[in-house]
Amino acid sequence: MLESHLSRPGFLPLRTLNARLTLVTLALVVLSIWTLAIYVGRIVHDDVQALLSEQQYRSVGLLAAEINDQLGTRFAALEAVAREAGGARDADPVEAQSLLDQRPVLLSLFNGGVVFIAKDGRAIADAPPLPGRVGSNYLRNTDVADCLNDGRSRVGRAVMGRILKTPVFGLIVAVRDGGGQVQGVLVGLINMAKPSFLDRITAHGFGQTGHFFLVSIKHRLSITSSDPGRVMQTLAPLGEDPALDRLLAGQHSSLVYTNPAGQEALVSLTTVPLAGWAVAASLPTEEAFAPLHAMQRRMLWAALGLSLLAAGLMWWLLQHQLAPLVQAAKHLAVAAATSSTGLPMQPLPIKRPDEIGLLIAGFNLLLAELGERELALADSEARYRAMIEQSPEPIAVHRAGRLLFANPALVKLLGGQSAQDLVGQPVLKFIHPDEHSQVLARVAQVAEGGLRLIPLESRYLKLDGSVIDVEVQGAMIEFDGAPANLALVHDITERKQSRLALQAALQEKTVLLNEVHHRVKNNLQVVSSLMRLEAARGAEDRTRQVLTDMQGRLRAMGMLHESLYRSGLFASVNLGAYLKDVAVQACRSQGSPAVRLHLDMGCLQVSLDQATPCGLLVNELITNAYKHGFVGGRAGVLKLSLQPQAGSEQTDTARQWCLRVQDDGIGLPQDFTLAGTSSLGLQLVGDLARQIGGVLTVGPLPLAAFELRFMPQTTAQTTAQTAPQNSLSTSPPTEAPKDES
């Protein structure tokens, strides 16, 4: 059947490897060609658009700069005349008219004339004289009214002139008197219906179908354009056309814009700073990208031709290369039919020594090894069964709730004489009734997942009814040609009894350690209370101070035992939380509310051998700061920080930590050294730093900053050291300590 299917003439069916490889390869080639064509076309389109935008923007920029220069020249001329007109308190019409008549140059700059408007908004002079202009009130013109109020020069809004009856706009300049007060304005009018410096916009279009525009951004008005239909045209209100809003807000930009009529154009815009205008150029994309579209069409035709050529070549090549594979498949079908009759399978013929030939040669090797593996498989099954039979671990196989197999170890565990005592019995018969639901759920889970699960503790019943504790692990296997559950059973009765005894001993030890820490803390409090009473009775300040210092040290050690008692953890101490309690209590005992405590404490677990010296060290440094740094009720800030050293390893036990105590009190002497001090507290600080293996530094002077860098130690590291120090190794000096700050 397979042979007749492969030898069918004509087009290969899609189910054959030959046809699938051909179609997939063709699809990849054609997809690559068209993807490349589309990608290149898009890249070229973007590059051409960027180039056209840049060229168009430069043209607009040159035109905007020229208009800005022309406006600047006209403003300069008006301002020069305005300076000559100033001086008098009120503008005189005769003098104003004489001044304008003597400035014929203004008429060459302003083709709509020049008007002198007094402070009351009335025109008192004009040049050239036009009927109806002198005497008219221009306060209705908001630009004129604003200039009279604030005195700032500006370009007026383009409007339809009442006198000229044509589109005009004015350049407005304030005329000031000798005191700097505005006494009127000069308005130079540009008649856009006559030749002017705006002819560069109106006289020529942009390209063949594009246009220039002069736009007032503030008034959203197209002042003039090379398109007559756009002169004095009001633009869409703000918010109605988002693309136009982005273009006008950009000030210097180029983008592809679709106007309300639906025409797409490449628009470039730049501003005229003096007027608040914008010069824009618009070129329809149909004209701008016409050469690009022609090139893209040619590229798509070329891609189509290349795809057809690649399809033909690929079809012929795959047909020729895969022909040996088809022949090999036919021979394989014949060999499979021969194998089903019990005869040995014959090797397949090799047509060419290529990759397909190597594949057939490898298959022939597999055929040669197949017989040997069948013999090896039978031998392996025999060894496996013997191994299961002789395994010291109890093993059971069950299916549908009944035992199918039990090895001798399981028979012995359950108190049977032979496997016949167990095989065929219900599985739940050997399981404690309280465990039935759990075991059934476990069996269902193994059947669904088909994977080996983690061991589960359970209770089994022996044949005599006694209960044993076991640990069971299940998995799905093939047994006698059908799925079955494999159970590995381990007797843990003795282990469970030992674990219960160990837990009881551990609980007893925990209670004992809690009691020890509680009693040590109480004893330290008793001693501290006795010292406080003795200090209250002492007559000498020196004696009271020594007893008070000793109370602080005892309080620091007592807090450590209190922390251990509350947390229930005896192997390590949270150094950050412990030092925070020590610092707060030490500051509270000094009774100076003017000193603020600033804490920056990290979380670090250390052994008791390191926690106790650190607590005493912090207590000594804080006490020393209050005694010598904040004398006389001086206010300030006391900072305490515990953070890992920058650049050290990432784990707490492998990186160096830094404990820093700093105050902004009166500071230390410039010649201060730890080795040279005679203060008992600071000598004790140095001894404590050496006890934990740390490095203590001071300064930079005169700053009162003490920094201790040390490596944290766990409980295991501490116990591994020889001759650990649990108390101070040096005794205090007999002489009285000197004041150190």
398 shares a domain with 499: no
725 shares a domain with 707: yes
Average pLDDT over residues 695-721: 76
474 shares a domain with 565: no
Q: What is the pLDDT of residues 370-410, one digit of tens each?
A: 767 777 766 777 777 777 767 777 888 888 888 888 888 88
User: Higher pLDDT residue, 558 or 99?
Assistant: 99
Asked if residue 11 belongs to a domain, the reply is no
Asked if residue 632 belongs to a domain, the reply is yes
At 517, is the pLDDT very low, low, confident or very high (cuts 50, 70, 90)?
A: low
Return the amino acid letter for 472.
V
Sheet of strand 482-491: strand arrangement:
402-406, 395-399, 482-491, 467-479, 456-461
Average pLDDT over residues 256-285: 84
User: Higher pLDDT residue, 67 or 624?
Assistant: 67
Kindly state the percentage of the chain with pLDDT values over 70: 77
* pLDDT number for residue 9: 43
409 shares a domain with 381: no
* pLDDT surpassing 90 at residue 186: yes
* pLDDT surpassing 70 at residue 155: yes
Of 95-104, 373-382, 526-535, where does the model show the most confidence?
A: 95-104
Containing domain of residue 73, as a range? 52-288
User: Higher pLDDT residue, 640 or 319?
Assistant: 640
Asked if residue 307 belongs to a domain, the reply is no
The alpha-carbon radius of gyration of the chain (Å, integer) is 51
513 shares a domain with 368: no
C-alpha closest to that of 279 among 248, 237, 256, 257: 248
Q: What is the pLDDT of residues 466-477, one digit of tens each?
A: 888 888 877 788
Of 456, 491, 526, the residue at which a domain comes to its end is 491
At 599, is the pLDDT very low, low, confident or very high (cuts 50, 70, 90)?
A: very high
Q: What is the pLDDT of residues 475-515, one digit of tens each?
A: 788 777 788 887 778 777 777 777 777 776 666 666 555 65
Average pLDDT over residues 207-229: 85
C-alpha closest to that of 587 among 636, 529, 540: 636
* pLDDT number for residue 10: 42
Asked if residue 641 belongs to a domain, the reply is yes
Q: The domain that contains 432 carries what CATH number?
A: 3.30.450.20
- Contact call for residues 254 and 268 (beta carbons, < 8 A): yes
Average pLDDT over residues 434-447: 80
Asked if residue 19 belongs to a domain, the reply is no
130 shares a domain with 114: yes
723 shares a domain with 579: yes
224 shares a domain with 184: yes
Of 234, 258, 288, the residue at which a domain comes to its end is 288
Neighbours of 45 (CB within 10 A): 15
Quote the CA–CA distance of 226 and 234 in Å, as a whole number.
16
Quote the CA–CA distance of 651 and 605 in Å, as a whole number.
11
Asked if residue 719 belongs to a domain, the reply is yes
* pLDDT number for residue 69: 93
414 shares a domain with 380: no
* pLDDT surpassing 80 at residue 731: no
527 shares a domain with 475: no
Quote the CA–CA distance of 238 and 223 in Å, as a whole number.
17
In angstroms, the first-to-last Cα distance of the chain is: 104
Average pLDDT over residues 114-129: 91
* pLDDT number for residue 199: 82
* pLDDT surpassing 90 at residue 171: yes
* pLDDT surpassing 80 at residue 3: no
At 693, is the pLDDT very low, low, confident or very high (cuts 50, 70, 90)?
A: confident
Of 570, 590, 605, the residue at which a domain comes to its end is 570
* pLDDT number for residue 641: 92
C-alpha closest to that of 149 among 183, 178, 192, 190: 183
* pLDDT number for residue 558: 62
Query: Based on the structure, what is the number of domains in the chain?
Result: 5
Between 97-101, 185-189, 334-338, 516-520, the lowest mean confidence (pLDDT) is in: 516-520
Average pLDDT over residues 185-201: 88
The contacts of residue 661 (CB under 8 Å, 6+ apart) are 618, 621, 622, 625, 638, 639, 640, 705, 706
Average pLDDT over residues 338-351: 63
Asked if residue 107 belongs to a domain, the reply is yes
401 shares a domain with 345: no
* pLDDT number for residue 72: 92
User: Higher pLDDT residue, 270 or 452?
Assistant: 270
Q: Is this structure's pTM higher than 0.85?
A: no
- Contact call for residues 665 and 718 (beta carbons, < 8 A): no
Average pLDDT over residues 599-617: 85
User: Higher pLDDT residue, 571 or 206?
Assistant: 206
Between 195-204, 238-247, 671-680, the lowest mean confidence (pLDDT) is in: 671-680
Asked if residue 104 belongs to a domain, the reply is yes
Q: What is the pLDDT of residues 289-331, one digit of tens each?
A: 777 777 777 878 888 888 888 878 877 877 777 777 777 777 7
Kindly state the percentage of the chain with pLDDT values over 90: 8
256 shares a domain with 108: yes
User: Higher pLDDT residue, 467 or 144?
Assistant: 144
Q: The domain that contains 582 carries what CATH number?
A: 3.30.565.10
Average pLDDT over residues 50-67: 87
At 88, is the pLDDT very low, low, confident or very high (cuts 50, 70, 90)?
A: low
Q: What is the pLDDT of residues 262-273, one digit of tens each?
A: 788 888 888 888
740: Cα separation from own chain's centroid? 50
* pLDDT surpassing 50 at residue 2: no
* pLDDT surpassing 70 at residue 443: yes
Pair of tokens at residue 635: 């206010």
* pLDDT number for residue 353: 73
- Give the CB-side neighbour count of residue 133, counting CA atoms within 13 A: 20
Quote the CA–CA distance of 246 and 217 in Å, as a whole number.
12
As a 3-state breakdown, the chain gives helix, strand, coil percent values, each rounded to 5, of 50, 20, 30
12: Cα separation from own chain's centroid? 53
Q: What value does the mean pLDDT of the chain take?
A: 77
Helix locations, 175-289, DSSP H: 199-202, 242-250, 285-288
C-alpha closest to that of 701 among 666, 736, 650: 666
* pLDDT surpassing 70 at residue 16: no
